[in-house]
């Protein structure tokens, strides 16, 4: 089985549709996972945006799961996940069926694809914290918290881990490592100390989650850069392949994972 992976789309409908069409044209992909910053519930016409994505999925014969990023309307997500129907008998959050073929995955959600155990862990700190009003580009609940990490680690290992944020060095791809060093050394975008510390805290938590789950394969978005590496996590008996996906339709923003090999499918 092969699944499509799509990086940050940042609310750009044409980018979403082009990615879905590219994957459908292969003929071997029926399931797609978007790795956050769909910008769910944001923009001038959020319902029309979802309707158009649903229409594309129907027309192309695909289903789309979304790992939430930081650029989603977390106030709306929190409201939907607070409903009794969105929680199972054990208190775990259930996936949100946004449309018939479009689903938002809660943090720590686990399922099986192609015989592989898969875990999703969304969210990340926004760098706009303290620079833009709360509820416009960032929400307090977008961040991964310690109790999220504790829960996903307690559930044990998984073959595949799909996240929005990246683990930190030395477990990130070199391209992400370069961005981190540049932000600290040169700070070319003039991030505030609060934003840099906020991001570091989120990455530290994601790193702890990745070390605890010890996946054989990890894919993430968030940094808008394409990269790939193989790392050995502490105490692990196997290597972990890490993919960072770029954004907005740039090269490396759409990839295909072969679940048999946990490597790229031909042309993926």
Question: 166: which residues sit within 8 A by CB, 6+ positions away?
Answer: 172, 173, 176, 203, 206, 220, 222, 223, 244
State how far the Cα of 32 lies from the Cα of 57, in Å rounded to an integer: 10
List, for residues 48-58, the tens digit of each pLDDT value. Answer: 999 999 999 99
| Residue 196 to residues 128, 189, 259, Cα–Cα distance (Å) | 10, 11, 35
Q: Provide the pLDDT for residue 192.
A: 84
pTM: 0.97
* Residues 88/93/98/103 CA torsion (nearest 10 deg): -100
List, for residues 59-105, the tens digit of each pLDDT value. Answer: 999 999 999 999 999 999 999 999 999 999 999 999 999 999 999 99
List, for residues 104-147, the tens digit of each pLDDT value. Answer: 999 999 999 999 999 999 999 998 887 778 888 889 999 999 99
**Superfamily the domain 2-264 falls into:** Metallo-dependent phosphatases (3.60.21.10)
Domain ranges of the chain: 2-264
Confidence of residue 240 (pLDDT cuts 50, 70, 90): very high
List, for residues 27-43, the tens digit of each pLDDT value. Answer: 999 999 999 999 999 99
Give rounded-to-5 percent helix, strand, coil for the chain. Answer: 30, 25, 45
């Amino acid at each position: 089985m092969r699944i499509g992976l799509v990086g940050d789309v940042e609310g750009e409908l044409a980018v979403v549709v082009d990615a879905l069409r590219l994957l459908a044209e292969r003929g071997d992909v029926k399931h797609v996972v978007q790795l956050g910053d769909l910008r769910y519930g944001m923009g001038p016409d959020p319902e029309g945006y979802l309707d158009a994505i649903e229409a594309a999925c129907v027309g192309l014969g695909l289903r789309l799961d979304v790992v939430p990023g930081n650029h989603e309307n977390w106030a709306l997500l929190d409201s939907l996940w607070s409903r009794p129907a969105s929680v199972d008998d054990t208190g775990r959050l259930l996936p949100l069926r946004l449309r018939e073929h479009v689903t938002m995955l809660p943090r720590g959600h686990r399922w099986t694809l192609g015989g592989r155990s898969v875990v999703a862990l969304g969210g990340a700190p926004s760098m706009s914290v303290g620079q833009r009003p709360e509820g416009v580009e960032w929400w307090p609940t977008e961040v991964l918290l310690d109790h999220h990490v504790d829960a996903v680690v307690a559930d044990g290992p998984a073959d595949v881990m799909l996240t929005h944020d990246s683990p930190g060095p030395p477990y990130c791809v070199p391209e992400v490592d370069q961005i981190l060093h540049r932000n600290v050394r040169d700070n070319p975008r003039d991030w505030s100390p609060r934003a840099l510390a906020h991001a570091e805290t989120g990455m530290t938590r994601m790193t702890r989650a990745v070390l605890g789950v010890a996946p054989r394969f990890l894919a993430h978005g968030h940094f808008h850069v394409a990269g790939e590496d193989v790392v050995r996590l502490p105490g692990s008996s196997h290597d972990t392949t890490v993919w960072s996906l770029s954004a907005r339709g740039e090269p490396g923003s759409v990839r295909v994972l072969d679940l048999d090999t946990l490597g790229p499918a031909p042309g993926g």
